[in-house]
Each structure stands twice: as C-alpha cells, then as structure tokens.
Chains A and B, each alone.
Chain A
C-alpha cells in the first residue's frame, strides 16, 4: 500500500524566515509526486509535479525537490499570504490503470507578519 508522510504537521514562521517542509513516501513505482496548496474550505490548488530523483521546480518563493525517498518544499522569505496547508501526493503503480493520487495529511503553515 502506498504511504505518504508529511512533517511537520504544523509550522509557524515569522515573515522572511525561510524553512522546508518534508514529504516522505513509500510506493511501488513512483510515476509522479505532486505538491498542492489548500486554503481553508477550498480545493487543492496545484503547485508542482516532480517525476524523477534530482528534479527541482521553482515558483516565486517556493522550490520543490525530489529524492528517491522524499521531497522537500523549500519556502524562501515567506509572506503572510503563503499561509495555507501544503499537501503532498503521489501517483504510483505499474500498468495503465492506476491514476489515483495518494495524499499525505499535509503541513499547516502559518506565516506571521
């Protein structure tokens, strides 16, 4: 069974204080690792897809990296508007029918001004 574990569960930062969120995974045949942002009462909003170890993607203050066992979401000089829950999800399996996403519980990020 695919497993995704995110840490920490919650993170409180001061504006401008950089940090990283972790997503470790155990899957059979990783096809893609996805990062989403979720605001309270809203649907997940796509941020990044990573396909292979060593890959990196950047968007504004966010940078996602991938190894064979985990992914990191680095947040550089965060602003209060970066406050949200960040979700990690994997798409895995062999064959052509397994397209589902398996999510972690998320990291609740709070950035104080």
Chain B
C-alpha cells in the first residue's frame, strides 16, 4: 500500500542553523501539506501546496520557513534559522484530489534544536 515517507526520522541541529526536512508524498497525489506537533500539544497546520505554489499558510509559517517541490517526487520544508521553539515533530501529508479527500500522513521528523 502506498505511503508517505519522510527523512530523516530525527534531526538535531544548533540554534540558528538551517534544516531541510524531506518528504516523498504518495505518487498520484496532488495536494501536499506540512504540519507540526510540539510535544504534548495538538497537531498544527503550517502550509498547503498545490500546482507548484503555496495555497495557504498559517501564522506560524513566517519568512523563516519555505517549501519546495524540487522534482516530481520530493516535497521539502526548509527552516532558514532555527529557534529553540521550532523543536517539534514535523509531519508531511498528501491527498489525491480536492475538498474532502483524505490527507495521509507520513511518520514524521523529530526536530530537536539545541
């Protein structure tokens, strides 16, 4: 069964460093998302991406964040200058079609900022 994959599973970085989190969505899916979950808190929406552009972004997704689909399979989230408060689980999700289709989530990348 097709699934969303994410690498790395755990990333440790120093404050101020740049990180790139990678995702491979399900192959025939058209809509892509990043969410994050700070330990003990709810899953929060960061950004949605369709047709090679951002569809919507949350207040969390400031100028330090960017997303890219560099080729036909990968979807990346870049944090330019990490802060301690960026420490969280980051989940990639994808879905096949519009409004009410199900979003399928990857296993997550645990980002630890020291």
Contact = CB atoms under 8 A, between A and B. Distances in A.
A87 interface: yes
Interface in A3-23: none
Using C-beta atoms within 8 Å of the partner chain, give the interface range for chain B: 20 to 34
Closest 7 CB pairs of A and B: A43-B105, A100-B45, A103-B43, A32-B100, A44-B105, A105-B42, A43-B107
Interface string A89-106: 101000011111111111
Using C-beta atoms within 8 Å of the partner chain, give the interface range for chain A: 20 to 34
Contact of B108 (A43, A46, A106): A43
Given A43-B105, A43-B107, A97 B56 contact: yes
Interface of A: 31-32, 34, 36, 41-46, 49, 51, 87, 89, 91, 96-106
A98 B33 CA distance: 12
B99 A99 contact: yes
